[in-house]
Copies of this chain bind each other. A is one copy, B any other.
């Protein structure tokens, strides 16, 4: 069974080329989106913790067992979607150990785009941002997802020549500091200024330099 992340990635890639989904896959993807939308409706209406999975399943027309098969946990509603599936994998060519500010900015920009969403992928995920920020359990789950991405990024940085300790610290600072920290401030400020500005400001805070620099590996 394809994971939600794989399904979404395939769906997104349809913008760029023909990656056809089977009927089964399309049905499941529809159900997934329906469940997520329904859940957000219920959350907005009565609050996150006062909505049970049983209710979400009933309102979405699936059995509770299916909900768990799809999302694993209640928090999976937030980590299964593109928001957390930042797709660090595509960074390998973007790392320049000689230009850390530039590298960081490019990485975060790529993360922000999501997994291949070049053609205006829907941003349903932003709807759940409120609960990511406000519900500790959801926040913890998202941190777990960021952690996995940071682990992948660590490997890439090591392959690019960084020492293990340096790679680990840079990767975590990128994901939790530059990315999530900027995201949170952006959210707190009412999402008025562009997210990119926050990222850039945060990166310069770390490096003490102005984030210019180009260079492509």
Interface size on A, residues (CB 8 A): 40
Cα-based distance from A165 to B202 in the complex (angstroms): 6
Confirm or deny: A191 has a beta carbon within 8 angstroms of a beta carbon on chain B: no
Asked if residues A169 and B165 are in contact (CB atoms below 8 Å), the reply is no
Q: With a CB–CB cut-off of 8 A, which chain B residues contact A3?
A: none
Q: With a CB–CB cut-off of 8 A, which chain B residues contact A144?
A: 136, 139-140, 143
Residues of A within 8 A of B (CB): 100, 136, 139-141, 143-144, 147, 162-166, 168-173, 175-178, 180-182, 184-185, 188-189, 198, 201-209
Inter-chain pairs besides A170-B205, A172-B181, 18 sampled, C-beta below 8 Å: A100-B205, A140-B141, A140-B143, A143-B143, A143-B144, A164-B188, A164-B189, A165-B198, A169-B181, A169-B201, A169-B205, A169-B206, A172-B180, A173-B177, A175-B176, A177-B177, A206-B206, A207-B208
